[in-house]
Chain A
């Protein structure tokens, strides 16, 4: 009997506690629900993918040394006997004062700050468009070998090196395969990387690196 009386006494207090808890938990639950709605219902837009591609691109460029590429560029340079009357297209070595084989290196670079990223939602495709590579600085001239099979005076070597440098610059500028190749070496690894990377967003998407 005594217990029942005590129970009755405690009842309003219990109700009080539950009401107090409700007051605290309802706002918390509301926040949780809102956060969940944001996470699950707000779609990951094109802009989001674009930003993510850009930030991951910065990382992979740094990790893979994609910005610059050194290209072995060896050329044949011909020294005319008479600069005013010289047919450089002649394939007879005797028509020249000397002919050298020049070992050289050219550095090409890609400016990744000019990368364009387009998200084609309709065709489920992310297109990463790289800018063209450009030749950086002057070519590096290594060894010079005279091909005539005859002795060339030692004091001619500096002139031969200059001739090599001029020829390297001229030929690399005229070489229509050089720039696309410098870009291709970066494209290959970016394609492999992004084909994996995109799976985190939507495996139905494809990434094309141009």
Chain B
């Protein structure tokens, strides 16, 4: 009887040592479901220093005769955030295999272009008409600013290298989420990654 008690104690001790609070593989699916997959995950903030070209057409009509089309150029800076929509992430568990789908990265929010860069003293302009003027106004500065915002959006949304980097970083964060929520050592499960192209 004593021998039996000793064996039971040893077995329990060894179970504790080897388990160390690890959950069972059958709990993996339930644990992974607890990962919060809502909202956006920002993984990259790109900085741009860019040049904008803004065209101002000479208005038509008698009072605008001899006015010329104008051009202004300005350097502007700004940042734009990239990341993934977490609601599009799919994590499915089959036994000890996890299939994870990472959506492609997109622009998150609006670009943050510096308004200070659109002060007239920062512009370089072509020469105005000698006879009838077509001056560049505050309204033109504002329009140039809007154009810069759009331009930055286009630049970031077509930069495949940058978008791939943002997607790759999202994978690293999701992987850590799975690791924490699984309750298992990494070697006890396999993650198969699928990336949206």
Contacts and interface: CB of A to CB of B under 8 A. Distances in A.
Interface string A24-59: 010011001101100100000000000000000000
Contacts of B46: 71-72, 185
B65 interface: no
Interface in B2-55: 2-3, 6, 9-10, 13-14, 16-17, 20, 41-51, 53
Contacts of B177: 196
Interface residues of A, number: 48
Interface string A60-82: 10011100000111111010000
Contacts of A197: 176, 180
Size range of the chain B interface in the assembly: 35 or more
Interface stretch (B73-81, B92-100, B137-145, B189-197): B73-81
A5 interface: no
A91 B73 CA distance: 9
A199 interface: yes
Given A39-B20, A189-B44, A28 B173 contact: no
A9 interface: no
B124 A188 contact: no
Contacts of A64: 168-169, 172
B68 to A, nearest CB: 12
Given A21-B3, A25-B10, A200-B180, A188 B49 contact: no
Nearest to B81: A188
Given A93-B126, A193-B176, A72 B6 contact: no
A32 B168 contact: no
B101 interface: no
Given A36-B13, A175-B77, A193 B173 contact: yes
Contacts of A28: 10
Given A18-B3, A29-B6, A71 B180 contact: no
A140 interface: no
Nearest to B9: A29
A76 B2 contact: no
Nearest to B136: A91
A105 to B, nearest CB: 10
A189 B165 CA distance: 11
B195 to A, nearest CB: 14
Contacts of A89: 121
Contacts of A18: 2-3
Contacts of B165: 65
Interface string B68-89: 0001011101010100000000
Given A181-B45, A192-B43, A33 B13 contact: yes
Contact of A72 (B16, B48, B173): B48
B43 A188 contact: yes
B122 to A, nearest CB: 8
A89 B41 CA distance: 42
A199 B16 CA distance: 22
Contact of A175 (B14, B49, B122): B49
A184 interface: yes
18 contacts: A29-B9, A32-B14, A36-B13, A71-B47, A74-B50, A75-B51, A75-B75, A78-B124, A91-B122, A91-B125, A93-B127, A175-B49, A184-B79, A188-B81, A192-B173, A193-B176, A196-B173, A196-B176
